[in-house]
Structure 1
Amino acid sequence: MELEHAYDFALPFAGEDRPLADALYELLDADDYVVFYDCNEQARIVGEDVEAFLAPIYRSDSRFVIAVLGRTYGERRWTIFESEQFKERFDEGHVIPIWDKNAVP
């Protein structure tokens, strides 16, 4: 049986927001969700074209994207890349944004 999505959730975030992403990952993992979390995938990413590897995960290989949107999320190369991949999914209701109270929406 082939699954429609490889992951239940994908967690994009800026490095400074890793503590929150860690906590989210732990909660989701404890409930047996399959979560794309960069720390767990490092061995698979090494030697790959990182953009080609990550793009489908954020675009369609995860049921939902939980985007941790901290103060610098939209200013960094990788976070801009990530957000470009999942931005179309906002209209589908498949992106759950978590805003830092100090971030500018």
Structure 2
Amino acid sequence: MKYNYEFRFREIGKPYFTPWMPVTEENSKTDGKSITIQLPKHGGIETGDMQVRVAADPSTNRPAGLILHSNAPYTSKINPDIDLSNFYEFEVALSFAGEDRDFVKCVAAKLKDNGVKIFYDEYEQVNLWGKNLYEHLDQVYRVKSKFCVIFISRNYKDKLWTNHERQSAQARAFQENEEYILPFRLDNTEIPGLRPTIGYLSKENTSCEQLAIAIYKKIRSIG
């Protein structure tokens, strides 16, 4: 898997950085809250520095982003790692029932047009092909997303897969000290584990476009 970041590093005493390299599962590890890049070890070289940036995204014509971390030290003698805080594969994951797709599809399209890295099933069909969906979706909704928007409806409450997604998201929310689940009401159905004291947005007074803007602002205001 290729993540949405690139890194390069420079050995101490050397004037130039290496070429930009993709962050992948092979050269990193993540606990869902941060990513640790595993630098190659160099004999006799104990320290150096690293730069990390958001990678270009050809699908949205987004160029590579500004450097996020610069001149961060690493020590190859002990463990040549660097921590990239608040790393997530997806900025937001959408959890919804198929019967509610028309509204959600509008929201997803608006977010994608604004360069948001989104988990929406229609955008992931090739990636999902052949995977163990029970395990993969648990990772998406419990580990790999910065936020999860749950589209609450009677249909949502009754579906096997939406309950699986919700339970994974709630397991993550239980461990967080800040908001993770962003509930959006399509109707007044009560969902197990989502307390009425949580702040909600509702279709009664929020259009598709307004919800997409609200999600975008939420993503950009934290982290």
The answer, yes or no, to whether TM exceeds 0.5 is yes
Overall identity of the aligned pairs, in %: 28
Q: Are 1:35 and 2:126 matched, yes or no?
A: no
TM-score computed with the length of structure 1 as normaliser: 0.89
What is the letter of the counterpart of residue 41 of structure 1? E
TM-score computed with the length of structure 2 as normaliser: 0.44
What is the letter of the counterpart of residue 54 of structure 1? L
TM-superposed deviation, 1:50:
0.5
Tell me how far apart the structure 2 counterparts of residues 62 and 55 of structure 1 sit (CA, whole Å).
Answer: 11
Which residue does 2:163 correspond to in 1? 80
Q: Contact 2:94/2:150 (CA < 8 Å) preserved in 1?
A: yes
Tell me how far apart the structure 1 counterparts of residues 113 and 189 of structure 2 sit (CA, whole Å).
Answer: 29
Runs of 5+ consecutive residues of structure 1 not aligned to the other structure: none
Which residue does 2:182 correspond to in 1? 96
Question: Which has more radius of gyration?
Answer: 2
Counting matched residue pairs gives 105
Tell me how far apart the structure 2 counterparts of residues 7 and 25 of structure 1 sit (CA, whole Å).
Answer: 13
TM-superposed deviation, 1:102:
4.2
Q: Are 1:59 and 2:149 matched, yes or no?
A: no
Which residue does 2:109 correspond to in 1? 26
Structure with the higher fraction of residues in helix conformation: 1
* Secondary structure, aligned partner of 1:28: helix
Over aligned residue pairs, what C-alpha RMSD do you find? 1.7
Tell me how far apart the structure 1 counterparts of residues 187 and 167 of structure 2 sit (CA, whole Å).
Answer: 22
Larger relative contact order (CA 8 Å, sep ≥ 6): 1
Runs of 5+ consecutive residues of structure 2 not aligned to the other structure: 1-6, 8-22, 24-34, 36-86, 192-223
Structure with the higher fraction of residues in strand conformation: 2
